[in-house]
Amino acid sequence: MNSEEKRTGIVNNKFKPCPKTPNCVSTMAPNDDKKHYISPISYDSSQKEAVEKLIQIINSLRGTSIVVKDINYLHVIFRTKLLRFKDDVEFYFDDSSKIIHFKSASRIGSSDLGTNRKRMEKIRKLYSR
């Protein structure tokens, strides 16, 4: 198992937890974990349409590459603009609840100066248009 596989993926319909460092946000972190928790995105279309819409948004952003695309899961690598660091972003589509869960985590370092949270808030805003 490579280091990417240790950090990413779904186990029992859940993301692997964020590390203790503040450079990760997840909709599956405990609600009282202010450092890591972020609200999910809701959708009212079909799951297929939600996935397609999100892929369009991802493809419109700079420095992205989709590495895994399944019916209810996406793993995307985002490269930061300045230093080209790689961040792992995962999306899990819970069609029974019509919710897109996501996790965005830096691969290295401790602080990301809020980059992961800002990225996911931008994606939420683009999705809700």
pLDDT by residue (tens digit) across 29-55? 999 999 999 999 999 999 999 999 999
pLDDT by residue (tens digit) across 52-109? 999 999 999 999 999 999 999 999 999 977 777 899 999 999 999 999 999 999 998 8
Nearest to 25 by CA among 11, 13, 41, 37: 37
Average pLDDT over residues 1-9: 66
* Number of domains composing the chain: 1
Whether pLDDT at 110 is above 60: yes
Amino acid at 87: D
Give the domain CATH number at 56.
3.30.310.80
Which residue range is the domain that position 22 belongs to? 3-127
